[in-house]
Structure 1
């Protein structure tokens, strides 16, 4: 399971962090490393409550469609930022944060194991979608924010192969890249999530192939 592998790798990286590390700025302002880890922790654990609620009647959003522009309206973004900062106020060491990530993943895994992949869930934004699609967004959140954390900590990106496959598939809707874009998965993910700039030629190639990078920020 890609979510398990990526959460375990993130926990490994967090165990060695100290106070100054946790206070570093990230490329997800105004979050510090501690804030961003708190946000990831919350996102990993969301499915427990979602699966405890009655399922909606039908899915209306897939994994790629989940990252619509409405998710990043000013009021939604402000709540997202504030909630992570509130969660980060509880002091915790690197090892404690690692344990929290693993506990959240284990609770999610236990909840997911009781349901089929096509079970429907409703997100906190009100989107009805399939469980397996929402799981893909959780892998994406942990994987992409792992890139943000690695950059903030001056570390080599630790994105796992299992997570990279899921994230790349979400960003491209499972389609092959058009000819002329000779990207590996890490480059693809950086480019299509705004972690690395697209050139004019790359934008044109994507547009010509009908590939439009989804809106992407935190959730």
Structure 2
């Protein structure tokens, strides 16, 4: 839990700093997550980063039934859920007219979560908005994924170098690889694994062959 919490804090603090450097034109840039603009995508990330505040204030379920990998199952990506996710982000973004409002909203969301986590007991269970009973640690892993992977999308939209923090990269890469070592022949660092496994960078023919021969499998969002 301590390592995942640290990764969440590091990645959110990095994005917090980035948002304060944007100008108004940046907010309307298209992203690799259409139809979202930068403004929309940050609204989505802000909502995700802030979810734990209410979850920790609610009664805990009796037992965990879903882990971090299971959270990203196919049910989260059916058309109606995906459409609601897109529409909600655009609605929330519409209430944040400028860079200052966008930055403050994100800072407020993640810092409230950070404070709530500091007071959470070891072994705390939570229930997600989808009804999934999970350990707090597993759900927090999904928050690191949301902030870290969408941070790559924002970096691309803003034409900046990726700012993924080392701690967050380790958490996300470990989830995607299910804790298994990546075949040495691939020569991938955590950032490359994340880009390849999430489809943000396509596999080369050689990489595809190495993956198939090694029988290496990674988590596929929605699979």
TM-score normalised to structure 2 length = 0.91
Which residue number corresponds to residue 27 of structure 1? 32
Task: Name whichever of 80-89 and 162-171 sits farther off.
Answer: 162-171
Aligned-pair CA distance for 1:203: 4.2
Q: How many residues align structurally?
A: 217
What CA deviation, in whole Å up to 9, does each residue of 1:155-203 have, x standing for no partner?
A: 1111111111111111112221124221011100101111111245534
Q: In the superposition, relative to structure 1, how do residues 53 and 203 fare at CA in structure 2: closer, same or farther (>3 Å)?
A: farther
Taking the aligned partners of 1:10 and 1:117, their CA distance within structure 2 comes to: 27
Note the alpha carbon deviations across 1:128-148, whole angstroms, 9 max, x for none. 111001111101110110100
CA drift of 1:122 comes to 1.0
Runs of 5+ unmatched residues, structure 2: 1-5
1:129–1:4 Cα change, 3 Å: same
Structure-1 separation of matches of 2:128 and 2:220 = 18
1:176 alignment partner, SS class: coil
Which whole-Å CA distance do the structure 1 matches of 2:36 and 2:26 have between them? 13
Q: CA RMSD in A?
A: 1.8
Partner SS for 1:180: helix
2:147 counterpart of 1:142? yes
Contact 1:16 1:95 in 2 (8 A): no
Q: What is the Cα deviation at residue 210 of structure 1?
A: 4.9
Question: Contact 2:152/2:163 (CA < 8 Å) preserved in 1?
Answer: yes
> What secondary structure, in the 3-state scheme, does the structure 2 residue paired with 1:129 have?
strand
Residue 86 in 1 paired to residue 94 in 2?
no
Partner of 1:58: 63
Partners of 2:127 and 2:204 lie apart in 1 by 37
Equivalent of 1:214, from 204, 213, 220?
220
Q: Does 1:128 align with 2:133?
A: yes
Which residue, 44, 48, 60 being the options, matches 1:39? 44
Give ranges in structure 1 of 5+ residues lacking alignment: none
User: How big is each residue's C-alpha offset from its partner over 1:103-153, in whole Å with a ceiling of 9 and x where there is no partner?
Assistant: 111111121122234211111111111100111110111011010000001
The range that moved more, 82-91 or 105-114, is: 105-114
CA distance 1:22–1:143, shift in 2 (3 Å): same
Q: Distance in 2 between the 1:213 and 1:131 partners?
A: 20
**Per-residue deviation, 1:23:** 0.3
Q: Is the 8 A contact 1:17 1:95 kept in 2?
A: no
